[in-house]
């Protein structure tokens, strides 16, 4: 099989500034080597900070200016480490394209979807504007965006996170590249769209004889799409093998640990095992020793009652007109103290809008909002702004996008201290600092993080910081909007275990919004399924997973990635 891309002894170091007169460097990638054959899919797998994204971004030198690369990266025989900037610009988007992890920071917020899709078609393929628009509409339809013609005139902020990622995929595939680098391309997508995207990538790979370098922390997805798997940890390759061997007979203890950390739709563990548990040879019983969850009180008081919640948005119609789009259509539920309500549905189903509306983060000025949200006997939607401010401490939210939710000018210490200072938590700065450090440790980060800035952390690490910030106020209710979707399996397990521990310790109640049904099964007591802004099914978690009543729910469950089909159950 002919090799399309060959990476040999790649080392990537980042200059960290001078200390005692000497330049300090952090070695992020330590001698990585692997090949990507023509017409094949190679997956890079590992935890956050393993160096997999740095390795992939080194191919087209999409790294910060303080990065230093050595080794060899040969694409069709050309060493890209020696390529001139003009040569790399000609390759980017045409022969080698990328889909990045965070679509909102990759799409231009002031250009419409049509303008962004047409640019590479006109520049690289020489299409006319009219031809490019036709092709752009076809691309949106291919990646599963409804009403593609109407969406061409939309701006990125008018689309959900999953829809933004689909636009990014359409943009990357526009010029039919020979190599597509997909960096966590399905992380923000619901399971049905995730399956559509994987099937689309597989179809394009076959029809265009394209190779795919697929970066993911989700081994369930990797097992369904990859031919070869490269497992990385701490900047080094731990194992490299065909996908069948990785799932059926992994040789490295770290690979075995990654496989065992994934939540599953089968079984009901009280606690998820993490990487270190597996490598240390612990059993599930040993890992869970001393951490048994408290039994749920069926008569626990209702802390949040939502009745007939509706939210709509105004959309442009014609030159001066507008029309009302109903995003949430009469959602009702009760949340008891110490319980978790899972909310699932496809992108655009209204689950995030529902969560933000009950927190008044979607005010009525952008469209009508009605219904009741009773918390501690008070209707949150009817409160004045002055009365609502103290409530913010008691009901907190963790957002989907960790890149946009942290202030880039604040150190992590400042980020964690600020809400405590605003709400008067802690007697002084030292006390707040101590609480911030304790919360960082709880979410798996060390004290050194206090003095760093958000850009110095991976996406998964930023999400852990966002969760720690949320917990600084000791809230009673948490709305978690895809709070673990950006995390690798081990850190995801740590955070899910942490959320359960905090719930047991403080009696917290969660609204857990997610597209990952395996995660929802692990953490939720009840599941609410949404489609097109409506609740189509609501039931206790075990009952819904075992015997879903609606075809839509069955379709969601059927789309969950199961890993390599030849792997033992």
The percent of residues in the chain predicted with pLDDT above 70, rounded, is 95
pLDDT at 568: 44
Task: Supply the pLDDT for residue 385.
Answer: 83
Of residues 295 and 37, more confidently modeled: 37
Top mean pLDDT of 24-28, 99-103, 356-360, 509-513 is at 509-513
pLDDT at 71: 96
Q: What is the mean pLDDT of residues 322-338?
A: 91
Q: Which is higher by pLDDT, 438 or 106?
A: 438
Per-residue pLDDT averaged across 156-174, rounded?
A: 84
| Residue range 430-436: mean pLDDT, rounded | 93
Q: What pLDDT was estimated at residue 154? A: 93
pLDDT of 90 reads 87
CA angle in degrees (0–180, nearest 5) for 226-349-480:
80
pLDDT of the residue at 291:
60
The average pLDDT across 348-363 equals 86
Judge contact between 469 and 59, C-beta under 8 A. Answer: no
pLDDT range class, residue 142, cuts 50, 70, 90: confident
pLDDT score recorded for residue 569: 40
When pLDDT is averaged across residues 351-372 and rounded to a whole number, the result is 84
Read off the pLDDT of residues 375-401 as tens digits, 9 standing for 90 and up.
988 999 989 888 888 888 899 998 877
The H-or-E segment that residue 387 falls in is helix 385-394
Burial of 67 from C-beta contacts in 10 A (0-12 / 13-18 / 19+): middle
C-beta of residue 436 within 8 angstroms of C-beta of residue 450 = yes
d(C-alpha 213, C-alpha 53), whole Å: 11
**What angle (nearest 5°) sits at the alpha carbon of residue 557, between those of residues 510 and 553?**
75
pLDDT band of 526, cuts 50, 70, 90? very high
Q: Which two tokens stand for residue 510?
A: 């969660």
What residues have CB less than 8 Å from 20, skipping those under 6 apart? Answer: none
Q: Which tokens is 266 given?
A: 């089968």
Residue 351 CB burial class (10 angstroms; 0-12, 13-18, ≥19): buried
Helix boundaries (H) for 107-160? 113-125, 129-142, 148-151
Is the distance from CB of 454 to CB of 466 less than 8 angstroms? no
**What's the confidence (pLDDT) of residue 538?**
95
Q: Are 78 and 264 in contact (CB under 8 A)?
A: no
Tell me the average pLDDT of the chain.
87
Tell me how many degrees the CA angle 540-194-528 measures, rounded to the nearest 5. 20
pLDDT in tens, 223-242: 888 999 999 999 999 999 99
CA contacts within 13 A on the Cβ side of 118: 16
Which pTM was predicted?
A: 0.78
Instruction: Give the pLDDT confidence score for residue 288 in this predicted structure.
Output: 62
pLDDT in tens, 547-568: 999 999 998 888 887 666 554 4
Q: Which of 124-128, 201-205, 338-342 has the lowest mean pLDDT?
A: 201-205
Instruction: List domains and CATH numbers for the chain.
Output: 335-368+380-558 (3.40.50.300)
Kindly state the helix (H) or strand (E) to which residue 97 belongs, with its residue range.
Answer: strand 96-99
The span from the CA of 188 to the CA of 105, in Å, is 13
Confidence band, pLDDT 50/70/90 cuts, at residue 259: confident
At 202 the pLDDT is 83
Report residue 214's pLDDT band, with 50, 70 and 90 as the boundaries: very high
Strands across the sheet containing 302-317: 321-336, 302-317, 369-375, 378-379
Percent residues over pLDDT 90 in the chain: 46
Over residues 394-416, the mean pLDDT reads 88
Q: Could you give the C-alpha distances from 263 to 87, 103, 216, 220, 462, in angstroms and in order? A: 44, 26, 16, 10, 22
Q: Of 157, 135, 129, 160, nearest to 148 (Cα)?
A: 135
Across 77-81, 105-109, 218-222, 501-505, least confident range: 218-222
Compute the average pLDDT of residues 537-543: 94
How far is 13 from 552, CA to CA, in rounded Å?
Answer: 48
Which of 58-67, 83-92, 115-124, 317-326 shows the lowest per-residue confidence on average (mean pLDDT)? 317-326
Query: Among 155-169, 189-203, 218-232, 235-249, which is the least confidently predicted range?
Result: 189-203
pLDDT of residue 81: 93
133-150 average pLDDT score: 90
SS3 of residue 546 by DSSP: helix
d(CA 536, CA 170): 30
Model pLDDT, residue 495 = 82
Per the model's pLDDT, the better-predicted residue between 252 and 204 turns out to be 252
Question: Is residue 131 over pLDDT 50?
Answer: yes
Mind listing the pLDDT tens digit for each residue in 47-105? 877 899 899 999 999 999 999 999 999 999 999 999 998 899 888 888 999 988 777 77
């Amino acid at each position: 099989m002919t090799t399309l891309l060959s990476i040999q002894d790649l080392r990537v170091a980042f200059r960290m500034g001078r200390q005692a007169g000497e330049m300090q460097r952090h070695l992020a990638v330590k001698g990585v080597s692997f090949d990507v054959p023509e017409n094949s899919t190679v997956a890079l797998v590992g935890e956050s900070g393993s160096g997999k994204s740095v390795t992939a971004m080194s191919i087209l030198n999409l790294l910060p200016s303080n990065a230093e690369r050595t080794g060899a990266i040969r694409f069709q025989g050309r060493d890209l480490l020696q390529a001139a900037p003009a040569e790399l610009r000609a390759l980017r988007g045409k022969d080698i394209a990328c889909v990045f992890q965070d679509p909102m920071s990759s799409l231009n917020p002031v250009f419409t979807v049509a303008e962004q899709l047409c640019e590479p078609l006109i520049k690289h393929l020489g299409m006319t504007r009219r031809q490019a628009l036709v092709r752009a509409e076809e691309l949106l339809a291919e990646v599963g965006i409804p009403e593609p013609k109407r969406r061409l005139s939309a701006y990125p902020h008018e689309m959900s996170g999953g829809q933004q990622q689909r636009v990014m995929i359409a943009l990357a595939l526009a010029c039919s590249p020979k190599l597509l680098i997909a960096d966590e391309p399905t992380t923000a997508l619901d399971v049905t769209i995730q399956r559509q995207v994987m099937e689309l990538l597989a179809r394009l790979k076959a029809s265009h004889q394209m190779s795919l370098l697929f970066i993911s922390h989700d081994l369930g997805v990797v097992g369904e799409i990859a031919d070869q798997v490269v497992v990385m940890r701490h900047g080094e390759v731990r194992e490299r093998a065909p996908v069948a061997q990785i799932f059926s007979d992994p040789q490295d203890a770290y690979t075995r640990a990654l496989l065992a950390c994934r939540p599953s739709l089968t079984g009901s563990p009280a606690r998820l095992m993490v990487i270190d548990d597996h490598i240390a040879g612990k059993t599930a019983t040993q890992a869970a020793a001393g951490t048994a969850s408290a039994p749920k009180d069926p008569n626990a008081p209702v802390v949040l009652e939502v009745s007939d919640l509706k939210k709509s948005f105004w959309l442009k119609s014609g030159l001066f007109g507008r029309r009302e789009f109903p995003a949430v259509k009469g959602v009702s539920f009760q949340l008891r103290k110490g319980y978790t309500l899972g909310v699932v549905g496809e992108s655009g189903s209204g689950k995030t809008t529902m969560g933000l509306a009950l927190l008044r983060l979607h005010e009525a000025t952008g469209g009508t909002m009605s219904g009741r949200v009773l918390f501690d006997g008070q209707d949150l939607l009817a409160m004045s702004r002055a009365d609502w401010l103290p409530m913010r401490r008691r009901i907190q939210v963790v957002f989907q996008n960790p890149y946009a939710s942290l202030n880039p000018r604040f150190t992590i210490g400042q980020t964690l201290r600020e809400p405590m200072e605003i709400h008067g938590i802690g007697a002084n700065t030292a006390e707040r600092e101590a609480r911030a450090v304790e919360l960082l440790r709880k979410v798996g980060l060390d004290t050194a993080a206090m003095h760093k800035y958000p850009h110095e952390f991976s996406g998964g690490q930023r999400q852990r910081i966002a969760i720690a910030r949320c917990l600084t106020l000791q809230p009673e209710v948490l709305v978690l909007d895809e709070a673990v979707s950006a995390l690798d399996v081990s850190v995801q397990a740590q955070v899910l275990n942490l959320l359960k521990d905090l719930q047991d310790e403080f009696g917290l109640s969660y609204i857990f919004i997610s597209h990952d049904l395996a995660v929802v099964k692990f953490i939720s007591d009840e599941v609410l399924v949404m489609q097109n802004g409506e609740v189509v099914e609501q039931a206790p978690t075990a009952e819904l997973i075992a015997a879903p009543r609606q075809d839509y729910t069955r379709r969601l469950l059927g789309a969950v990635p199961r890993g390599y089909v030849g792997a033992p159950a």
